[in-house]
Chain A
Amino acid sequence: MIQTAVTIAIICLALSMLALVYRIIKGPTLPDRIVALDAVGVNIVGIVALICIKVDTTAYVEFILLFGILAFIGTVAFSKYLEKGVIIDHDRDR
């Protein structure tokens, strides 16, 4: 029973990711795409958690934590790029 539910949930998330990829490709603006990528990350976290249940393991928990951080860093980097055109500022003293 739970197996079936998990499988259906994975499929739903996968389909949602497919839709997000469509948004990444289509745009129309860059922030649209970045938000879509961020959402892809969230979906990935969900799928990984579901897979953990499905195969009955805790091996992927670290992945979930790490992805939570990286997806955030990635989105911030993109946002900063959008804002200033650079990601890492030079020292102001120079």
Chain B
Amino acid sequence: MSLLHLAIIAPFIIAVFVPLIYKNIKSVHTGWFILPLPILLFIYFSSFISKTTNKQVTMESFSWISSLGIDFTVKVDGLGLLFALLITGIGSLVILYSIYYLSKQKEKLNTFYVYLLLFMGAMLGVVLSDNLIVLYAFWELTSFSSFLLIGYWYNREKSRYGAQKSMIITVLGGLAMLGGIILLYNMTGTFSITEIVAQADTIIDHPLFVAALLCILLGAFTKSAQFPFHIWLPDAMEAPTPVSAYLHSATMVKAGIYLVARMSPVFAEDTLWMGLIIAFGLFTLFWGSFSAVKQTDLKSILAFSTISQLGLIMSLLGVGAAALHYDQPKYFTVATTAAIFHLINHATFKGSLFMVVGIVDHETGTRDIRKLGGLMNLMPITFTIAIIGTFSMAGLPPFNGFLSKEMFFTGMINALHMDFDWSIIIPIIAWIASVFTFIYSMILVFKTFTGKYQPEKLEKKPHEAPIGMLISPIILASLVIVIGFFPNIIKPILVPAIETVMPMYEFDVHISMWHGFNTELVMTIGVIIVGVLLYLGLNKWRGIYGIFPEKLALNRFYDGLLDSMYKGSHSLNRNVMTGSINHYLSYMFLFMVVLIIGSLFGQNAFAFSTDNLAPIHFYEVILTLIVAISSIALLFAKSRIVSILLTGTIGYMVSLLFIVFRAPDLALTQLVIETISVSLFLLCFYHLPKKLTDDPVPVKVRNAVISVGVGLFVILVGLTAHSTKLFDSISQYYIENTYSEAAGKNMVNVILVDFRGFDTMFEIAVLGIAALAIFSLIKLRRNGGKKIENK
């Protein structure tokens, strides 16, 4: 257990003490006690920057289940460190923000901070684990804590719905990922990412490779809200805003991105990986930005915007993977740089934007852009932050979004170097999506802060937020500007991260604000011009959203799927579990017959030989005939008394057959038991209707078919068993030793009480239990079951 392990586990440990602090120290907001932890962790992780810059990787192992190859191995390399800094850094800001956002009096702060700390620890575990199983464990813990946080206001219907939805979708992906991990283990024999990467060249030809690739991608896509799994993210906006800012923009949704980046050295050798990531990423990029424009809720806009930006990063990672497949890798490696760079930028501006929306919500009581407007003069600082954030999101200079958007265009234009016919579509979609991004960014800021002020629609009288609430977004917004002007200051973090994703290439990253007059700049100018025009004419073309049929919406599909799964399993249960013994027996017998007859003939195991058969006497034939006739007549008996009489006849005949086959003890017992059973049946008759129930004809036919089948299978099995005797019976031993060993001449009785007395003992026990049970059934009922219950 090293300090690194402690750093990951620290949030969990603190989480244990949060309720104690909350209960005992009422005067101070609980958040203040939490705040030092992420700050300390941030400082601690910052100390690794110098190491990773020198390509030093820190690995610490802690034995967990070593016999299964599962160790809690922590690895700090460029990529892990970048994420760890994001998690702890933004985590600190979000906790600071939440102290002012969540009221000490109204909210249950203890649960909130416990969930948040759980999440923070889990997320650190995901990005720093080198062991895939440990990674998976933390991965599920992020899903789980996210579920708890989305459902924080659990008395709201929508919160519960959103929490359930996100849980179902992310756990679906998580399980698929576990499948992928196990497949990887099958191929390589290790759970360690480092060792799997080392074996990447050998496993690419493995037959399980593609399956593992698809499973891992499914996990990454569901977590990172890629199309069509993005539907959980907008519904997750029911969470408190600090949670949305932290989980659903900056950290958790990037876990999928992290996974793709981390696994790139393993899978990127395969073009399928590249193709899928580019295709899904681009479509998500387009669909997210397209859908964001029609939203009226500020957080929904941000949610779809997050989806779109995640798609952007994903597609960039895909284009970056192309470097392995084409001649001139330098065209494509820029895309990887852009991906990681945009990842950082997105975390900064999206975090600040969520906080801005939270402030607006907090101060006005609504997030609906139709009610908002003209807040510019009332909330100048918030407005400034919003301008910075949205302009960065739209890709305008001089903010950091501009730089990464330019690099994004570069990457997408360079994707034209891929030699397939439709590659031109990649930059076109990217450009269109950027136009939409520009439009919703403008909607976000201008519909909220400019235009007409409508105080009558607002629940509260808006005013500027308290300074404590503004600190975090101000820090993030300053980062947006600082990175925008001096992008090279984050190089020590950026470059090692990129080199982790693409370890085979050298990166000489140089980002500058002005990189000459080129195609990318033209594209950006195009985005601005077209975007402005479209924004101004928004009301004229907004109708196109009505064209898209509501029926085809993915949420409808999801709800319908859940609903039909519920109804389907319900009706399946109702149809199969009818409560009728007749049906259950039919299933059992049918499957028994089908399985055994099927396997008898399928395995060619049926045997019939006439050796070892005894001669048949004529009277035996007649006696058997009597049994057969009585049995058949029993089936067609109209009244109960006749059926009892026939049962008695059969029983007596069987005892006669025992005589014929020389079993006097059996015959005696059979005789007595038969008489008692018949009397018992008669005893029951007093309470039963005289006539037997009439089944409809189809049921009779079905039952007849099944019973004929059962009879046939018993005959077949009996004949086969008789025809394939593999060795002699052990009865010779009993014949020889009955008198000498056990001092008895009746062999049956000696076996029952001497050689195999244990069986007899338990048969006696069975009879005793039956007698007691009958007694208690009758007695308890006579005394009145209700009375006993009441006592």
Footprint of B on A, CB under 8 Å? 7, 10-11, 14-15, 17-18, 21-22, 24-25, 27, 30, 33-34, 37, 40-41, 44, 47-48, 51, 55, 59-60, 62-63, 66-67, 70, 73-74, 77-78, 81, 85-88
B198 within 8 Å of A (CB atoms): no
Interface residues on B, range: 20 to 34
Instruction: Say whether, besides A24-B646, A44-B652, A86 and B686 are in contact (CB < 8 Å).
Output: yes
In the complex, what distance in Å separates the CA atom of A33 from the CA atom of B678? 14
Question: What are 6 A-B contacts defined by CB distance under 8 Å?
Answer: A15-B622, A63-B668, A70-B672, A73-B675, A74-B678, A87-B682
Contacts of B626 in A (CB 8 A): 14, 17-18, 21
Please state if A18 and B683 are interface contacts (CB–CB under 8 Å).
no
A71 to chain B, nearest CB (A): 8
Indicate which residue in A14, A22, A51, A66 contacts B671 across the interface (CB closer than 8 Å). A66
Q: How far is the CB of A79 from chain B (nearest CB, A)?
A: 11
The distance in angstroms between the C-alpha atoms of A17 and B626, with both chains bound, is: 8
**List of A residues within 8 angstroms of B617 by Cβ:** 7
* B561 in the interface (beta carbon within 8 A): no
Quote the shortest CB–CB distance from A76 to chain B (angstroms): 10
Minimal Cβ-Cβ distance residue in A for B624: A14
Q: Is the interface of A mostly helix, strand, loop or mixed?
A: helix
Give chain B's interface secondary structure class.
helix
A86 nearest CB neighbor, chain B only: B686
Which chain A residues border B668 with CB–CB below 8 Å?
A: 62-63, 66
The reply to whether A63 and B667 contact each other, CB–CB distance below 8 Å, is yes
- Decide if A25 touches B633 in the complex (CB within 8 Å): yes
Contact with A along B644-684 (1 / 0, CB 8 A): 01101100100110011010100110011001001100110
| A7 and B672 contacting across the interface, CB-CB below 8 Å | no
Assess A27 versus B642: contact at CB under 8 Å? Given A7-B619, A44-B652, A78-B682: yes
Collect the chain B residues with CB atoms within 8 Å of residue A27's CB.
642
Task: Give Cα A7–Cα B685 distance, bound, in whole angstroms.
Answer: 40
Asked if A63 and B664 sit within 8 Å, CB to CB, the answer is: yes
Complex contact A59–B619 (CB within 8 A): no
Report Cα–Cα, A37/B623, bound state, in Å. Answer: 15
Contact residues in A for B655 (Cβ distance below 8 Å): 44, 63
4 pairs of A and B residues whose beta carbons are closest in the complex: A14-B622, A25-B633, A59-B664, A10-B619
Interface bits B605-644 vs A (CB < 8 Å: 1, else 0): 0000000000001110011011001100100000001100
Q: Do B685 and A81 touch across chains, with their CB atoms under 8 A apart?
A: yes
Least CB distance, B716 to chain A, in whole angstroms: 28
| Contact assessment for A41 and B629 in the assembled complex, using a CB-CB cutoff below 8 Å | no
Contact A24 B675, beta carbon cutoff 8 Å = no
Chain B neighbourhood of A41, CB < 8 A: 652
- Other A-B contacts than A14-B626, A21-B649, A88-B683, 8 sampled, CB-CB below 8 A, are A7-B619, A17-B623, A18-B625, A18-B629, A21-B626, A25-B630, A63-B664, A85-B686
Contact B630 A18 (CB under 8 A): no
User: Whole-angstrom distance between the alpha carbons of A70 and B618 in the complex?
Assistant: 28
Whole-angstrom distance from the CB of B237 to the nearest CB of chain A?
A: 75
Given known pairs A51-B659, A60-B664, A60-B667, the reply for A37 and B619 (CB within 8 Å) is no
A70 in contact with B671 given A21-B629, A87-B682, A88-B683 (CB within 8 Å): yes
Query: Residues of A contacting B678 with CB < 8 Å?
Result: 74, 77
Is the beta-carbon distance between B659 and A34 smaller than 8 angstroms? no
Question: Are B662 and A87 in contact (CB-based, < 8 A)?
Answer: no
User: Closest Cβ of chain B: how far from A23's Cβ, in Å?
Assistant: 10
Cα separation A3 to B209 with both chains bound (whole Å): 82
Report Cα–Cα, A33/B637, bound state, in Å: 13
How far is B675's CA from A92's CA once the two chains are assembled, in angstroms? 27
Q: Which residues of A have CB within 8 Å of B622? A: 11, 14-15, 17-18
Task: Give every chain A residue within 8 A of B652 (Cβ-Cβ).
Answer: 40-41, 44
Point out the residues of chain A lying under 8 angstroms from B642, CB to CB.
24-25, 27, 33
Shortest beta-carbon distance from A10 to chain B in Å: 4
**CB distance A62 to B682 under 8 Å?**
no
Check if B683 sits within 8 Å of A62, measured CB to CB: no
